[in-house]
A and B are shown apart, each in its own frame.
Chain A
Amino acid sequence: MPEHTFRLNGHQVSVDVEDDVRLLWVLRDVLGVTGPKYGCGINVCKACTSHLNGTAFNPCAVPVKDLGPNDEVTTIEGLPATVGRALHPMQEAWLEADVAQCGYCQPGQIMAAVALVRRVAAEGREITDDDLDTIRNICRCGTYPRIRQAIRAASAQM
């Protein structure tokens, strides 16, 4: 079985698994990293959203062979360490607004939100309703308005 090496939440990891197994299953089923959730497996629901080298991506749509040894995968578990804190400002904003209901989609929502705020900031502007409308992550509990509220609050802290 081929060995694949990449960086995960600040650590180098190696896994023996077939080339085409999508990263979501490598994370969840092989490495036991369960923050990224399954909601569709076809890059639609975005519940598995994580970061690759700081950019949002969906591990359900990435064969593990596509990753190189220097690729840094960050899941919700590794998000706080990217800012050297116990919690990322987005997570703090989430707590402040009491966003979560069942919580299942929330790791993916938070990872998508962090990436969105970074992208908008890189464009040198404030986050708008139109920006928030671009978020595709499903929340079947319907916490959308609190998600918007938390992202606006966190964007001021990031």
Chain B
Amino acid sequence: MSDLERDPSPDGIGRRRFLGYVMAAPTLATAAKLSVAPSAHGAVTPQPTDFLDLNDMMTVAALPTSHLITVQVHTDGTVSFALPRAEVGQGITTSSAMLIAEELDVPLERVRVTLADARPELVFNQLTGGSNTTIATYTPIRVAAAIARLRLLAAAASELGVRASDLTLRDGIVRAPGHDGLDIGRLATAAASTRTEEVRVGLKPRQDFAVIGTARNRVDALAAVTGRKVFAMDLQVPDALPTMVCRAPTLNGTVRSVANLAQVAAMPGVTDVVPVSTGVAVRARTFGQCIDAVRALEVSWRPGSAEGKSDESVIADLRRAELPIGALPLTPTVDERFTFHFRSNSALETNCAVADVRGGRAEIWSSLKSPIVARQKIAARLGLPLHAVTVHVTEGGGSFGRRLFFDAALEAAEISQKMGKPVKLMWHRADDSRQGRTHPMALSRVRASYLGSSVLRFTQVHTSVATDLGHGLGEIITAMAASLPVGDSAFSQVFFQLSQTMPYEFGVSNRLLNETDKSFNTGSMRNVYSPDMTCARELVVDKLAARMHKDPYQLRRASLRTDRARAVLDKVAEVGSWGRRLPAGVAQGIAFHDEYRAVSAVLVELDCRPETVGRQIRDAVTGPRVTKAVVAVDVGLPVNPRGLEAQMMGCLMDGIALALTSSLHLRDGHFLEASWDNYFYTRQWNTPPDLQIIVMPPTSDEPGGAGELGVAASMAAVACAYARATGTMPTTFPINHGTLSFEPKPAVPPIPQSPTDGLDHVR
């Protein structure tokens, strides 16, 4: 078949056609106009997520502006695309490059995906969150690439004097019988248009895919392993000197006065010391000298936003805010309440940004998942018109929800303006952990009533410290909320109802959220409400199974609503040998979660024997160890299975930490954790030596979301295994929260000095 047969005449039948643009440009540039909301998935019991889930809302919200996604072909034969999203490790530059390579028939190595600056004209379409990137861009990127391919073929036909139908385009080279191959780079100018015009194009059918669905390595892997990948703090912006902030000993405390500003300003390397809204900023030749200056500052502080509060007082507040769960039914019930402590979404790259605010203009560099809102807020803070503010999106060293906000970018802009100099602002790890955003503490109460072997009713009442969604996702929700089948238009209510599902046929099921207390720095953390909600739900499912004398896997299997769901559950049960004999103190746990148009199941084996729990590693929490994990995932259409496996691996590590080890302790208005040896995210000694991740074959023509999908079921499976291994269902998470496993660092000065004994073990 010739290549043009893939694109029948406009009146051809049986092939869906998409509208796009050829743009006026010196070399070929094409753009997608149309974004298509994925079709609704089938369901048995109607619930809000059956009509429209969070991803529908985000995709629909993005519709009017998706035509601005542009693919460019260059004379050197490369293809470039500025992705209006943030790459923070989730692999979307790679998967986006794969979509272009597929539709344009160019080698993946020739596609360069960069991150677009903040583009306010994109309105809703530059927010990286809700695992929505691939769902929302899958069609528009391919449409733009397919139009580029058509234009290249037409240009080649003209150049060679042959009919376009006699041409093929493979691996970036156009071929015709009797002619030498013609590289697309040589056609990039001829294929360009002097005016912008609409084009209709068909897309490659799934059975012809040669790139999408194949396992590919990350496009930035070489840069990462050679140290050449550039993060914000690696940028060499002229005169942007290292800058840090001396912060209050309690959350969000502010400066009353500084006793020794002039002395600190005279310290070695220090160029500027300036009080700002969040503390006292210091700028110096090196970050080491910033640390010295921050530690030397004598600051009198005003109270913070959470003065006097501690874990116990917040739990008591949450109990008071809990909505009634209703009258006790006459049938047997399981009634449980779970506590989920504050957790940190701090990434390894701390909050950071470069800012140059001088002469009535501002230029900012930072890893930003909501750059449009960041730009608006920065302009407002600086008192500058929007057009005077440029916001560049840099590669991010992790996000986990943290980069939905732009705390460092806003702070750097303020500091640069006040100093009148460019700054390279970096938060110290201690600040990032103590003053950075957190996953809010929550209580989840679950009541399930049953009779015989049927669950009649399943109610979950979730009460949480307020989650700050004021990063632009809120704007989308505001815009869309009126048309949604939910009663309350508050951001978090809509988000909650759209993201939470009941995957089991458990009679009448409902979920309620109440949020309280806005005194904390919170935000969405990877998978947002779902890990806590799912962990509580799955523990109760296990308890129901025990009461009804059913096998926990079989109860889930019989109750799941879809074949896709049963398939992943069956897969982990089969591969993980559910029910196999294990020594006393070692047990399996199995759990399920669906979200982002995808389904996931996790089976783990957890070793809670004393010799394992009691392993001694300095400054570490060892504890129970997941010795084996099996994860099965069906995302509809996996674009890059290797990248998807990587995301599930990370989700599993997050789930293990959430269940067993990682939390923040709130004491007297501040968090104690100031180090990675205080906040116990999963370390090598906590990882499962045996891990299998199964990417299910495609079940759809559309990709689902993947970046957060595996966290909930992972956390839940570990919790369920812990209950089985120890004979006690855990009700407080992480399970080690009651033991403070470190000596808290002082809060004044707010950051620790760097050690000087680094050579002791080397020489």
Q: B-contacting residues of A (Cβ < 8 Å)?
A: 17-18, 20-26, 28-30, 32, 34-45, 47, 52-53, 55-63, 66, 75-77, 80, 87, 91, 94-95, 98-107, 110, 129, 132-148
Given contacts A142-B649, A148-B684, contact A104 B231 (CB under 8 A): yes
**Contact status A60-B754, CB under 8 Å:** yes
**In the complex, A35 Cα to B228 Cα: how many Å?**
7
* B646 proximal to A (CB < 8 A): yes
**In the complex, A148 Cα to B398 Cα: how many Å?**
20
**Contact status A38-B287, CB under 8 Å:** yes
**In the complex, A37 Cα to B228 Cα: how many Å?**
11
Q: Interface size of B by Cβ–Cβ distance < 8 Å? A: 75
Contact among B220, B223, B285, B428 for A29, CB-based, below 8 A: B285
**Contact status B398-A61, CB under 8 Å:** no
Total number of A-B contacts with CB less than 8 angstroms? Answer: 227
* B653 proximal to A (CB < 8 A): yes
**In the complex, A36 Cα to B236 Cα: how many Å?**
15
**In the complex, A76 Cα to B228 Cα: how many Å?**
9
For the A-B complex with A102-B395, A141-B650, A148-B689 known, give 10 more contacts whose Cβ atoms are closer than 8 Å: A53-B762, A61-B756, A62-B756, A87-B226, A101-B89, A102-B349, A102-B398, A106-B224, A110-B225, A129-B689
> Cβ of A101: which chain B residues have Cβ within 8 Å of it?
89-91, 398, 646, 650
* B269 proximal to A (CB < 8 A): yes
**In the complex, A42 Cα to B757 Cα: how many Å?**
10
> Cβ of A47: which chain B residues have Cβ within 8 Å of it?
348
> Cβ of B56: which chain A residues have Cβ within 8 Å of it?
none
**In the complex, A26 Cα to B654 Cα: how many Å?**
34
Binds A, one of B273-281, B353-361, B467-475, B673-681: B673-681
**In the complex, A92 Cα to B272 Cα: how many Å?**
44
**Contact status B762-A57, CB under 8 Å:** yes
* B33 proximal to A (CB < 8 A): no
Contact among A32, A55, A132 for B684, CB-based, below 8 A: A132
Within B208-258, which residues are at the interface with A (CB < 8 Å)?
A: 217-218, 220-231, 233-234, 236, 242
**Contact status A145-B218, CB under 8 Å:** no
> Cβ of A39: which chain B residues have Cβ within 8 Å of it?
348-350, 429, 676
> Cβ of A98: which chain B residues have Cβ within 8 Å of it?
217-218, 221, 642, 646
> Cβ of B90: which chain A residues have Cβ within 8 Å of it?
101
**In the complex, A59 Cα to B752 Cα: how many Å?**
16
The residue in chain B whose Cβ has the minimal distance to the Cβ of A110 is B225
**Contact status B429-A41, CB under 8 Å:** yes
**Contact status B762-A77, CB under 8 Å:** no
**Contact status B646-A143, CB under 8 Å:** yes
The residue in chain B whose Cβ has the minimal distance to the Cβ of A106 is B224
Which of B227, B346, B617, B681 has the most CB atoms of chain A within a 10 A radius of its CB? B227
> Cβ of B228: which chain A residues have Cβ within 8 Å of it?
35
User: B224 to chain A: closest CB distance in Å?
Assistant: 3
Which of B242, B349, B675 has the most CB atoms of chain A within a 10 A radius of its CB? B349
Given contacts A39-B348, A57-B758, A61-B754, contact A140 B400 (CB under 8 A): yes
The residue in chain A whose Cβ has the minimal distance to the Cβ of B216 is A98
**In the complex, A91 Cα to B89 Cα: how many Å?**
18
25 cross-chain CB contacts under 8 A: A17-B286, A18-B268, A21-B269, A35-B226, A38-B287, A38-B350, A38-B426, A40-B429, A57-B758, A57-B762, A61-B757, A63-B756, A95-B222, A98-B218, A100-B221, A100-B224, A102-B398, A103-B89, A103-B221, A103-B223, A104-B231, A110-B225, A133-B617, A141-B89, A142-B651
**Contact status A25-B759, CB under 8 Å:** no
**In the complex, A37 Cα to B230 Cα: how many Å?**
11
**Contact status A104-B758, CB under 8 Å:** no
Which of A22, A62, A145 has the most CB atoms of chain B within a 10 A radius of its CB? A145
> Cβ of B735: which chain A residues have Cβ within 8 Å of it?
none
**In the complex, A102 Cα to B526 Cα: how many Å?**
15
> Cβ of A35: which chain B residues have Cβ within 8 Å of it?
226-228
**Contact status B234-A25, CB under 8 Å:** no
> Cβ of B396: which chain A residues have Cβ within 8 Å of it?
102
**Contact status B242-A32, CB under 8 Å:** no
User: B658 to chain A: closest CB distance in Å?
Assistant: 12
**Contact status A41-B286, CB under 8 Å:** no
Contact among B88, B428, B687 for A41, CB-based, below 8 A: B428
> Cβ of A26: which chain B residues have Cβ within 8 Å of it?
286
**Contact status B426-A143, CB under 8 Å:** no
**In the complex, A57 Cα to B684 Cα: how many Å?**
19
Contact among B221, B227, B233, B426 for A107, CB-based, below 8 A: B227
* B575 proximal to A (CB < 8 A): no
Contact among B88, B676, B689 for A40, CB-based, below 8 A: B676
**Contact status A62-B759, CB under 8 Å:** yes
9 smallest CB-CB distances across A and B, nearest first, come from A35-B227, A142-B653, A102-B89, A61-B758, A104-B397, A103-B224, A76-B227, A62-B758, A25-B286
Given contacts A37-B349, A61-B754, A143-B650, contact A100 B687 (CB under 8 A): no
User: A102 to chain B: closest CB distance in Å?
Assistant: 3
Contact among A32, A34, A103, A139 for B220, CB-based, below 8 A: A103
**Contact status B677-A44, CB under 8 Å:** yes
**Contact status B754-A42, CB under 8 Å:** yes
The residue in chain B whose Cβ has the minimal distance to the Cβ of A97 is B217
**In the complex, A107 Cα to B90 Cα: how many Å?**
18
* B587 proximal to A (CB < 8 A): no
